[in-house]
Each structure stands twice: as C-alpha cells, then as structure tokens.
Amino acid sequence: MQRAPVRPVAEGGVLTAVAIIFALISTYVPVIGAFVTLIWPVPIILLGVRHGYNWSVLAVVASGIIISLLMPPLTAIAVIIGYGLIGIVLSYALRSSFSPAKALLLGAAASLISKMAVIGIMAVVMGFNPLIIQTEAMTEAIKQALEFYRSMGMKTEDLAQMEAAMQPMPGILKMILPTCFILAAFIDTYLNFQVVKVVLGRLGQPIKSLPPFRYWSMPPVTVYALALALVALYWGQSREIDLLYTAGMNTLVLSGTVLFIQGMALFYFLADKYKLSKLTRGIILFLIFFSNGIFIQSLIIGGAFDLIFDYRQLRSPRSE
C-alpha cells in the first residue's frame, strides 16, 4: 500500500487550516473580513499549484466540512461554493502553465458559475430571490439619505434634484446585475492571481506575469460590442422592447468598462512616453475619478481609438 507523500499532506493540512481561519475571519471580523472573503481561495490555489489540483479539491472538501460545522449553513455555502471552484480552476490553470490571460478568463468563468450557484441555492433554501433584498436595501438607503439631507436643511429645489438623480439607481442596478456579476468575477479572480503570484514568488516558484499595465490590450471586438449596444438601446427604447434594451444596457456597461481599462492603459503608456511627473499623473488621475464624467468618457473614446488604430502598435512590430 502506497503512502501519500508527507510534504503534500503536511502543506495540505496547514493550508486547509488557513482556509478555515480565513472563513472565520470573513464572517466574524468587520471590514477586514470583506477583503479576506475575496482572497479565501489563495490557500487552495497555492496547494494546487505546488502539488496538483487534486489536492485543491481535497482541501475544498475538507475545509467545507469543517466550516459547515463552525458556521451557519448559508454562510458556509457562500464561502465554499462561492470561492472553492475559483481555487480549483486557477490552481489547475497556473500549474498547467496557461497564459495569465487564459488563467484569468477560466478563473473568472469559474467565479461567475459559483456566484450563480450560490444565488440559486439561497433562493431555493430561503424561498425568494436574495437579489431582491439588495435592491430593496438600496431603495431604503436612498430614502434615508434624502431624509438626512432634509433634516440638515437642504433646499427643497436641491433635494428634488438629488431625488430625481438617485431614484432610478435601484432600477438601473437591477437591470445591469449580469454585468456587475461578470465584472465582480474578473475582479476577485485578478486579486487572487496577484496575491498567489507574490506568495509563490517568495517561495521560489514564480509564475507567468501579466504584461505591465501600460501594455495591456483588450479584445478589438469590444468596439463592435459598444456599437451594437448603442443600436440595441435605441431600438429597445424606441420600439419598447424591454429585453433588447436590457441587453443593450448590460453590453454598454461591460464594453464601456473594458474600453475604460484600455484607455487607462493608454494613459499610462503616454505618461511614460512623455515622462510625466508623479504629481502630474496624480492630478490627472484625480480629475478622472473625482470630477464629472467627461474625463471617463474621454478615456473610453481613447481606448476605442487605440483598439481601432493600434496606436501603441501592440498588434504589430513597433518601429524603432
């Protein structure tokens, strides 16, 4: 009878214990817990990259059993099902030496599937859609905010303008929930990838890195997606086709976000090319994120321009 290697078993036990501790922190420690929830798959990924994804599967199962004994069932489900698959898939992709882009894409797909599974399970267990609670909570938060400003003596005209601007937000959020889930899937996958990269680098087991941000380039099809989104919005609204309008809105938000990232990469490329000082970069970034939306729109347009004309020559040999 063959005995399991001591090293994988020992590391598996330690990293499984870390995953359990992460789950407890994510539930019972405010503020920090929210961040720890996002990086819960890190121990699972580390174990899989170092010893094989089958060890990741065993760690998820073992930690799931113990966490379900220590925490409320729904909380355990949210942690294990919501993040376990990301750990398994990312560990397999990284151990198989997939490109960073492919690994992130697979991890994001796993994350999205996991999120849908958690929502489905909770809907079945609780008897209603938990997303409805989130929308209602946002509506209540808007009411409380308006009441607060009213009690502070805000002018009636200003209060009416604020209410007109805020009231559609729950409906818009409900409409673009699919895109929100897709973006959230990429964000938590990227975060786990970066944390694992740092840890493995310190353990002497480096993995492939993404290119510097200034050389990031998104799929050119994004520009066509944006154009189709605008057409879908127009037809959906003018012909009162709600499904088409919703699809157009989600595509618009998703493609706009991707083009914004492309535009930010172009900005960093130009900032390096023209050797902008840190102060100048900081001022520009402040204007982008904290002033009116014209700067964000400019970056989206810049990102589309870069994708169409390959300004940075990332898809063709650069001329020296």
- Of 22, 19, 45, nearest to 190 by C-alpha is 45
Contact present, 63 and 19 (Cβ < 8 Å): yes
pLDDT of residue 320: 40
Q: What is the pLDDT of residues 216-243, one digit of tens each?
A: 999 999 999 999 999 999 999 888 888 9
Q: What does DSSP assign to residue 214?
A: G
CATH no. of 6-127+179-202: 1.10.1760
**pLDDT of amino acid 316:** 65
How many C-beta neighbours within 10 Å does residue 173 have? Answer: 15
The percent helix, strand, coil of the chain (3-state, each to 5) is: 80, 0, 20
**Backbone φ/ψ region at 292: left (φ over 0), alpha (ψ -120 to 50), beta:** beta
- Looking at residue 130, its pLDDT comes to 65
Per-position pLDDT tens, the chain of length 320: 455 555 778 888 888 888 888 888 888 887 788 888 889 999 999 999 988 888 899 889 998 888 888 888 877 888 888 888 999 999 999 999 899 999 999 999 999 999 888 888 887 877 766 666 666 666 777 777 777 777 777 777 767 777 777 777 777 788 888 899 999 999 999 999 999 999 999 988 888 889 999 999 999 999 999 999 999 999 998 888 889 999 999 999 999 999 999 999 999 999 999 999 999 999 999 998 887 778 899 999 999 999 999 999 887 655 44
pLDDT value of residue 102 = 94
CA distance 117 to 119: 5
Half-sphere exposure of 96 (CA within 13 A, CB side): 12
Q: Residue 114: which residues within 8 A CB-CB, separation 6 or more?
A: 81, 82, 83, 84, 85, 86
Cα separation, 144 vs 147, whole angstroms: 5
Please name which of 181, 187, 219 lies closest in space to residue 303, comparing C-alpha atoms. Answer: 219
Cα separation, 143 vs 306, whole angstroms: 42
The pTM for the full model equals 0.85
Alpha-carbon gap, residue 233 to 241, rounded angstroms: 9
Q: Which residue has the tokens 């398994």?
A: 88
